């Protein structure tokens, strides 16, 4: 058996993606190349590693038998690369960070120039999709998530607690009497949530408070909701870190929304000791600490105390 790491790398990508096409997208290779590499590995092992179907691929018993070993080899290759980088005194490579879209836009993206200036060899890939990435399948290296972590075996660090409020634009509030009670919301326009956004705790709480309001727009996008509110269309709930990044928004009935959610930074346990991962994690943590120090209240100060990384589970 003379297979090399390159062939195992393709094997792992297919196993994690569940399809040749998905692996090709992750590896930035053609499907033909991925298929050829997989056939080469199967020929060298004299074994079929995946069952093929119209819906994708799934590991055979042989594939499952070597999966853990392939991941261990992957980890050793990462450590070898880290040793080389550390010897040169430079950090290089790509770190993929997944975060909620609003948080990524307002807190992370504006600060990444600082990280690049300090470590120009680091490349940050910022994923702001509403879909939750699977860290165990290496879809990202670091995930910043609002709410309790839901994947087992991940290493987590609590960054703080996110507060929520009800907001309208100054344009919408022109010539309107101040809001003093929840009843003052009656008859006003709201920008309602749909899809996964509607299932968030703050949107469910706001839905109960706004039953007598006019629904001017429904959307499953937080950023579309934000832009609609900024335009003066209506009222909606937002995380405070997002709303406070837009001075034209005014919080109505402060303290009315009781919803809070913990903010976590998560990574795969095999990645936690890599220098580039640790560097990016510390950078993200410092952003949150600076928010507290400057008293912007993007995150409630009570949730911003430093915390040691801990293993988390569902």
Q: How far apart are the C-alpha atoms of 290 and 229, rounded to whole Å?
A: 28
pLDDT at 190 over 90: yes
Instruction: Determine the pLDDT at residue 298.
Output: 37
258: CB partners within 8 A, 6+ apart: 205
Which phi and psi (to 5°) does residue 137 adopt? -95, 10
Instruction: Determine the pLDDT at residue 1.
Output: 45
Rounded to two decimals, what is the model's pTM?
Answer: 0.70
Closest CA to 226 of 312, 85, 101: 101
pLDDT at 277 over 80: yes
Confidence bin at 292 (pLDDT 50/70/90)? low
Q: How far apart are the C-alpha atoms of 97 and 177, rounded to whole Å?
A: 43
What are the residues facing 97 on neighbouring strands? Answer: 126, 142
Angle between helices 5-17 and 31-45 (to 10 degrees): 120
Closest CA to 225 of 246, 254, 256, 253: 246
176: CB partners within 8 A, 6+ apart: none
Instruction: Determine the pLDDT at residue 311.
Output: 47
pLDDT at 293 over 80: no
Instruction: Determine the pLDDT at residue 70.
Output: 87
Closest CA to 305 of 268, 272, 262: 262
| 5-25: pLDDT as tens digits | 889 989 999 998 899 998 898
Q: Is 178 exposed, middle or buried (0-12, 13-18, 19+ CB in 10 A)?
A: exposed
CATH ID of 5-87, from 1.10.10.10, 1.20.1050.140, 3.40.50.2000, 1.10.150.120: 1.10.10.10
Sign of the C-alpha dihedral computed for residues 287, 289, 294 and 296 taken in this order: positive
Asked whether 237 and 205 are in contact (CB, 8 A), the reply is yes
What are the residues facing 244 on neighbouring strands? Answer: none
Q: How far apart are the C-alpha atoms of 1 and 47, rounded to whole Å?
A: 12
Any idea which of 10-14, 76-80, 228-232 has the lowest mean pLDDT?
A: 76-80
Q: How far apart are the C-alpha atoms of 8 and 16, rounded to whole Å?
A: 12
CATH fold, domain 91-314, is D-Maltodextrin-Binding Protein; domain 2 (3.40.190)
Joined tokens for residue 191: 């920008």
Joined tokens for residue 80: 């070898």
The full set of domain ranges for the chain reads 5-87, 91-314
pLDDT at 83 over 70: no
Q: How far apart are the C-alpha atoms of 145 and 97, rounded to whole Å?
A: 11
**294 half-sphere exposure, CB direction, 13 A CA radius:** 8
- The stretches of the chain forming alpha helices (DSSP H) are 5-17, 20-27, 31-45, 61-88, 101-103, 112-118, 170-173, 195-198, 201-209, 222-230, 240-243, 275-293
Confidence bin at 306 (pLDDT 50/70/90)? very low
Share of the chain above pLDDT 90, in %: 52
Instruction: Determine the pLDDT at residue 177.
Output: 86
In terms of phi and psi (left: phi > 0; alpha: psi -120 to 50; beta: otherwise), the region of 126 is: beta
| 145-166: pLDDT as tens digits | 988 777 668 899 989 888 999 9
Widest Cα–Cα separation across the chain: 79
Instruction: Determine the pLDDT at residue 85.
Output: 58
pLDDT at 192 over 90: yes
């Amino acid at each position: 058996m003379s297979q090399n790491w390159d062939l195992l790398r393709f094997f792992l990508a297919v196993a994690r993606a569940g399809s040749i096409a998905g692996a090709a997208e992750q590896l930035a290779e053609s499907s033909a190349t991925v298929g050829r590499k997989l056939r080469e590995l199967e020929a060298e092992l004299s074994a079929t590693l995946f069952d093929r179907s119209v819906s994708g691929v799934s590991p055979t018993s042989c594939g499952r038998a070597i999966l853990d070993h392939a991941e261990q080899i992957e980890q050793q290759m990462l450590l070898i690369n880290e040793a080389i980088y550390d010897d040169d005194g430079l950090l290089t490579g790509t770190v993929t960070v997944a975060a909620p879209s609003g948080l990524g836009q307002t807190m992370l993206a504006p600060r990444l120039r600082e990280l690049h200036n300090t470590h120009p060899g680091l490349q940050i890939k910022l994923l702001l999709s509403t879909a939750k990435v699977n860290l165990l399948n290496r879809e990202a290296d670091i995930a910043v998530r609002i709410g309790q972590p839901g994947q087992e075996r991940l290493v987590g660090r609590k960054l703080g607690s996110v507060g929520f409020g009800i907001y309208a634009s100054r344009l919408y509030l022109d010539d309107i009497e101040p809001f003093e009670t929840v009843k003052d919301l009656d008859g006003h326009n709201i920008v309602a949530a749909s899809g996964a956004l509607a299932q968030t705790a703050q949107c469910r709480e706001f839905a109960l408070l706004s039953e007598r309001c006019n629904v001017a727009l429904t959307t499953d996008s937080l950023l579309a909701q934000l832009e609609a509110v900024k335009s003066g269309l209506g009222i909606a709930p937002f995380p405070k870190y997002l709303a406070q990044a837009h001075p034209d928004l005014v919080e109505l009935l402060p303290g009315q929304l009781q919803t809070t959610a913990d903010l976590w930074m998560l990574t795969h346990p095999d990645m936690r000791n890599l220098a580039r991962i640790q560097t990016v994690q510390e950078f993200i943590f410092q952003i949150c600490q600076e928010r507290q120090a400057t008293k912007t209240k993007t995150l409630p100060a009570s949730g911003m105390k430093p915390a040691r990384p801990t293993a988390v589970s569902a």
